[in-house]
Structure 1
Amino acid sequence: MTASATNDQVGTNTAEGVNDQVGAIEARGIEPVPDEERHGQAIQMFWTWFAANISILGLPLGATLVAFRGLNIWQAILVAVIGSVGSFALVGVLSLAGKKGGAPALTLSRAVFGQRGNAGPTLISWLSRIGWETISTTTAAYALLALFQWIFGWHQNTVLAVISLLIFIGCTLLISGLGHATIMWINKWATIVFGVLNLIVMGFLVATVDWDKVLGVDAGPVSSVVAGIGFIAAGTGIGWANAGADYARYLPRKIPAGRLVTASAFGAGIPLVLLISLGSLLSAGDETLASASDPVAAINGMLPSWMAVPYLIAAFGGLLMSNHLSTYSAGLTMLTLGLRVPRHWAVTLDVVLMFLGGIYFMLIAEDFYGPFSTFLTLLAVPISAWVGVSLVDSARGRRYDSAALMDTSRTSRYWYTGGFRIPAVLAWTVAIVMGLLFTEASTSADDVWFAGPWAHTWLGTNGLGWAISLAVGALLYTVFGGRPAPVSEVEGANR
């Protein structure tokens, strides 16, 4: 290994002291996991993606399908199945790269885009992660504030807001800081605990459904069904597509690809289909949930008062399960960007930024969800372009050279042309431009941040700019990308 390759690992790991035991700090950073340290089964991906999607906030997605897209309950259920299961099947396919190369998704992406060319997708991915984490953290803090008020009678103030943020961030740091083994263990058992709590809450919410209104809703047009599938996919699996390999990298190579994809698809699909379908039921004839600026409070208002405590605990726990996964991936992404500290310190820096974001949005900003959702809508376009290029590259049989992934100097086989793999970078760039042409990002009709010239076509008004970006990226890379240079089994596994 070159000196530069070693320098790129400063603070992330050496071959000694790697620990992937529950309760111990994972010492490994972004460097590939050798075969002798791999373990586990495909079922781990089931628990991982189930945990990431048991948040009660899946309900507003379903509410939007009925209230704003004009679907009836049967169409909404169909959309939920195709959008959530399908998009997480895509996550499973992309996570196969982690099983092959043993490294996080954005580190493996160096082989596709080049050591310098990969900086753009990596930066966008990190911004997306920190954005979703800030939304989860702020929402969970509001849930804690509501819990404090219910139990102790404490009304919201600055001190309580800060305490609520610190509690949630402390829990996130504890889990994400310890790392992979602890996350895998917690995912399984927390899924069971919070899954049961959510089922109880859902049972009481079902009792509030006005079945006459539900069954009386007329079917929406096929175009709305297509747009709804895109909406659900963008709001669920696409947001995790650039993180799947982060959790599959410790799995043995011998695990069948089909099992991993199936575990990912149904691990996320089961909770999402239930939550989205219930959200659709609740919104038939009542748009309160779909238009609520604080969905946690809106859902709480639908329940008996004595259900507030279990509901708020379930909401807090579900958000924590999603947030600790996002934070873990964000830490790895920061290391890929070039931050030279141990992995757990990268996670610590990430949660500090998350805390500052929570402080701003809870105590300073007048509006939270609107601007941030708009920001994340824009980020979905470049992420989807990355997905399109990466899917094609993986399908062409990419193998990974472990040493070259970590060597960021000109000697790396992944240096290509000045650090850029031109076909991949160009395909990604053009795909972003095409996607943005059909994208509008706004908080309201009067507050438009960005609007492409074709944003008001059918594709644009139905929020499918991200899908165009994915398709264009995949098509261009298929035509101009060429096949990856061969890497021997020994090189890919052990160098």
Structure 2
Amino acid sequence: MDDQVIKVPESDKTLTPGKLFYNWFAANIGVMGFVYGAIIVSYRLSFIQAILAALVGALSFLVPGWVAMIGQREGVTTFKLSRAAYGTHGNKIPNAIAWFNMVGWLAVNVITGTLLLVSLFQVIRLPKNNVTTLIALLIFGSFVLLSGLLKEATLALIQTWLSWIFGVVTAVILVLFLVKANWQVALAAPSNSWLSGFLPAVSIVAAGSGISWSMAAADWGAYVKPTTKPAATFCHTTLGGAVPLFILMAGGVLLSTIDPTLAVASNPFDAMYQVLPSWIGVIYFLVAAGGLVPQCIVSLRSARINLATIGIRVSQRTSLAVHGVIVILIPVYVLFISGNFLSNFELFLNFLGICLASWVAIFLCDSVMFRRTGYDMNLMTTASPVRYNWGGIVSWLIALTTGFMFTNNAVWSGPFAHGMFRDNSLGVFMAAIAAVICMVIVKLIRTRQLNVKRVAE
């Protein structure tokens, strides 16, 4: 769509609430949900706390629901709306974050697909070592590149069928987990602190789910039929993402009672494969790996489009080459040098969560405080007179700094990351809170300036 054409054409607004729900459901019914369950368990929560953390974390999709509703109301996609909050040039900040988000998740999907194949190699008695891991990486990477030759419609059809098959097999596996779960161990697990255990578990799940997906929410919301009630867009977006994620995370929590090593396993899928009957494990992992391929292709194409919105225009061949190198180097580091998928995944979610929580908090505050009567389309064109909206930009920088000051991990230690903020992801929440406070101050300053101007007139 031409950059000067801000609103989505009425003829393109064809999404129904049911289709919207399915899109979000299909995008979130993936094997990574079990990994989130393992991450929740790593915070040493009681069974009730873990299930509640899964529920609250899944409800972070209230944020994409809100953003989608704005997208439907304005008929404008996410990053064109974001120009109002940051300015046309200042908006390159969230654009860059979105690119990092897409490339990071692309790398995560490639790593996940590789680990799934490594676990499947047990069927043909191949040993688990660097050689077989490299073979798995080459096989999965080749499928991704070859699938890039397929048309969008073909990829969508494949993804639809794989989503249905994955959903059916997942239901069977969840029943197996319910039967095999060690309920005595689960219910006897002691509770951890609600502040330093429960909240960090919620924040890391929210960072990788609702907060991360908020950057794409208006992209779908803008294509919803105009006759659809905003409440329907909100509910179908929220439930479409939250329902499958919560069910899968609960399954991951149950799985940890069967295999306690899940929370610390370098390959959580290997631990999962060990507790499944071999026949269903093969089907499930093959479908899960296959379902990741179309997601990788979509991420590759989206990353190229995102670069273009920043102002970096490259050919499809150059984009594939550049992004291909990046998403191979990252898996090589994680799989062969670091050797621990879960710890690196949490590190990625931590950094990503702080950046995106700051962005979406400012985006929503700007919408509520300054756009209640609607967005000025002139602010979203490249010819906009507001190149830098310093209120949004400075608020983002302060929120980002605040988040990192309360964060410590393997590569960073903030000066205030002590006590309840030590070794967890509460910096994500601190960044969002700081963003809201900054935007309230911006609102007060602009209101005062407006009042002074009126008095002067």
Smaller-chain TM-score bracket: 0.7 to 0.9
Look up the equivalent residue of 1:471 and give its one-letter code: I
* Aligned twin of 1:162: 138
Is the Cα–Cα contact under 8 Å of residues 159 and 294 in structure 2 kept in the other structure? Answer: yes
* Aligned twin of 2:55: 81
Look up the equivalent residue of 2:45 and give its one-letter code: L
Match among 310, 313, 318 for residue 337 of structure 1: 310
Pair 1:441–1:221, CA change in 2 (3 A): closer
* Aligned twin of 1:431: 399
Give the Cα separation in 2 of the matches to 1:82 and 1:195: 22
* Aligned twin of 1:488: none
Bigger mean CA offset, 450-459 vs 361-370 = 361-370
RMSD between aligned residues: 3.2
Give the Cα separation in 2 of the matches to 1:168 and 1:301: 27
Is the Cα–Cα contact under 8 Å of residues 53 and 271 in structure 1 kept in the other structure? Answer: yes
* Aligned twin of 1:110: 83
Q: Structure 1 unaligned segments of length 5 or more: list them.
A: 1-12, 15-27, 443-448, 484-495
Pair 1:50–1:326, CA change in 2 (3 A): farther
* Equivalence map 1:253-264=2 (5 Å): 253-264=226-237
Match among 420, 430, 440 for residue 408 of structure 2: 440
Q: Deviations over 1:12-60 (max 9, x none)?
A: x45xxxxxxxxxxxxx999542223221212233112212221222123
Tell me how far 1:323 sits from its aligned partner. 4.1
Pair 1:361–1:249, CA change in 2 (3 A): farther
* Equivalence map 1:399-410=2 (5 Å): 399-402=374-377, 405-407=380-382
Q: Structure 2 unaligned segments of length 5 or more: list them.
A: 448-457
Q: Deviations over 1:329-388 (max 9, x none)?
A: 43442222123368x779746753454336634776443634454244223212111111
Match among 30, 33, 53 for residue 55 of structure 1: 30
Match among 101, 111, 116 for residue 143 of structure 1: 116
Give the Cα separation in 2 of the matches to 1:362 and 1:465: 24
Match among 48, 65, 90 for residue 40 of structure 2: 65
Confirm or deny that 1:281 pairs with 2:225.
no
Q: Deviations over 1:56-90 (max 9, x none)?
A: 22123223333x32322222222211220x21111
Pair 1:267–1:327, CA change in 2 (3 A): farther
Is the Cα–Cα contact under 8 Å of residues 126 and 132 in structure 2 kept in the other structure? Answer: no
Tell me how far 1:324 sits from its aligned partner. 5.1
Secondary structure at the counterpart of residue 360 of structure 1: helix
Tell me how far 1:217 sits from its aligned partner. 2.0
Q: Percent identity?
A: 28
* Equivalence map 1:40-51=2 (5 Å): 40-51=15-26
Q: Deviations over 1:279-308 (max 9, x none)?
A: 212223853111111112121111122333
Match among 204, 228, 231 for residue 176 of structure 2: 204
Confirm or deny that 1:474 pairs with 2:433.
no
Is the Cα–Cα contact under 8 Å of residues 161 and 362 in structure 1 kept in the other structure? Answer: no
Confirm or deny that 1:311 pairs with 2:284.
yes
Give the Cα separation in 2 of the matches to 1:160 and 1:227: 33
Aligned residues: 438
Pair 1:253–1:332, CA change in 2 (3 A): farther
* Aligned twin of 1:10: none
Is the Cα–Cα contact under 8 Å of residues 48 and 184 in structure 1 kept in the other structure? Answer: no
Is the Cα–Cα contact under 8 Å of residues 198 and 311 in structure 1 kept in the other structure? Answer: yes
Tell me how far 1:474 sits from its aligned partner. 1.9
Secondary structure at the counterpart of residue 409 of structure 2: strand
* Aligned twin of 1:250: 223
Pair 1:249–1:361, CA change in 2 (3 A): farther
Is the Cα–Cα contact under 8 Å of residues 288 and 298 in structure 1 kept in the other structure? Answer: yes
Look up the equivalent residue of 2:139 and give its one-letter code: I
Is the Cα–Cα contact under 8 Å of residues 53 and 322 in structure 1 kept in the other structure? Answer: no
Is the Cα–Cα contact under 8 Å of residues 194 and 317 in structure 1 kept in the other structure? Answer: no
Structure (1/2) with the larger helix percentage: 2
Give the Cα separation in 2 of the matches to 1:372 and 1:386: 21
Look up the equivalent residue of 2:51 and give its one-letter code: I
Question: TM-score, normalising length from structure 2?
Answer: 0.84
Match among 320, 339, 346 for residue 367 of structure 1: 339
Is the Cα–Cα contact under 8 Å of residues 37 and 252 in structure 2 kept in the other structure? Answer: yes
Look up the equivalent residue of 1:463 and give its one-letter code: S
Question: TM-score, normalising length from structure 1?
Answer: 0.78
* Aligned twin of 1:446: none
Give the Cα separation in 2 of the matches to 1:198 and 1:346: 38
Look up the equivalent residue of 1:164 and give its one-letter code: F
* Aligned twin of 1:8: none
Confirm or deny that 1:218 pairs with 2:218.
no
Give the Cα separation in 1 of the matches to 2:318 and 2:63: 28
Secondary structure at the counterpart of residue 174 of structure 2: helix
